[in-house]
Amino acid sequence: MDEAEIGARALREFVTGERSRYRRIFLVDPGAPTDAVLDAAGAQDAVLLPEGERFPAVSAALFRYSGRLDESGDEMVLGDTTVELQDYVAAAFVQLVGPTVVAVLDIPGWEAFLDDARLARRTGVFPSALLDPRVVLAERSALESPRATEIPNAIRVRADGAFTVGMRGEPVGHIMQTPDRLAEPVERGVRLGGAPSIEELTASGPDRGETARYLRAIDLLRMLRNANGVRVAGFGWSLIDDDGADAEPLPSDPFLLDTAEGFVLADVDSRGRRALSRLTAVVVEATQTSSGWDVAAERVARSLAIPEPDAGRLCREAIGALGISLGASTEGAGAEAARR
């Protein structure tokens, strides 16, 4: 992997907020106090510096860029890689020509994002722009969990020395006057800046766990590449139509798929897939969408016409063998106790 590709990966971590290779990524705007940034960056960090800045001997990984990612249509260049920024609403209507960061930039963008999530839940139709392997969704960690707190891992340092969390966040400190703020936990929602406030993000729309599950379903379909005809359980399709589901699958749980070759259980993290019989697929869906053992066993027993004790045993065996879990209660209260 060459330096430009590694730099592009560092930029990806910066725009998504998801850690992989680096502890923190600093994006330094032209004219910003570079020395102060390099003093703050450590061996596990990466720093994106504008073209023309010197490359001193420091422990952090350094990469040069040109251009910017501020407004829709902006471009940033790292080596041979050009990355474009597109507004979420516009992304569905423009022709993508290369790596593209799609960002929720304002309230209409947030409403469009929620509408797409709801549509996918009802119909199984996902936004084509997010299915494109060239697209990266900006501030993904904040969209999934806006109220989660963490030490900033994506820091943009402005020309005046003020630093923000993420590409468009509000200033939270000054690299020279208050560098200690770099180590203070903040809510992920501050990354969204001029987009919705925390209150607007959490007041309406899908539950945050549902949003995370929706985005992981998109990851799965991108992983499958040619997913024509594939149906994803919970997104416009259910194997069990019993009105007994009282829970949502955990965001990280594998997905039950209906494919031309039969039922498949697919895991996003391991990229593993395993074929299932119809009986096992019923057990998987009932377990993932039930908040407790008694609910899951009763639903499996009814669907497969088997004794309830046998159904309960099948659910427990599926959890042990397939890496699935009981779901999170859609009624909120008592969900943790029900899964124990």
Q: How far apart are CA 235 and CA 189, in angstroms?
A: 26
Tell me the pLDDT of the chain averaged across its residues: 89
Give tens-digit pLDDT for 252-275. 999 999 999 999 999 999 999 999
What φ, ψ does residue 319 adopt, rounded to 5°? -60, -45
pTM, to two decimals: 0.86
Which residues are 313's β-sheet partners? Answer: none
Average pLDDT (83-105) is 90
Q: Which residue ranges make up each domain of the chain? A: 3-203, 227-339
Give tens-digit pLDDT for 47-57. 999 998 778 88
Read off the pLDDT band of 333 (50, 70, 90).
very low
Question: Measuring CA to CA, how many Å separate 16 from each of 10, 129, 332?
Answer: 10, 16, 28
Q: How far apart are CA 152 and CA 208, in angstroms?
A: 20
CB atoms within 10 A of CB 87: 18
Percentage of the residues of the chain whose pLDDT score is greater than 70: 91
Q: How far apart are CA 242 and CA 232, in angstroms?
A: 18
Average pLDDT (105-127) is 90
pLDDT at 199: 54
What is the residue-wise DSSP string for 18-72?
--SS-SEEEEEPTTS-HHHHHHH--TTEEEEEETT------SSEEEEEEE--SST
Give tens-digit pLDDT for 106-116. 888 888 998 99
Whether residue 163 is predicted with pLDDT greater than 60 in this model: the reply is: yes
Assign 217 to helix, strand or coil. helix
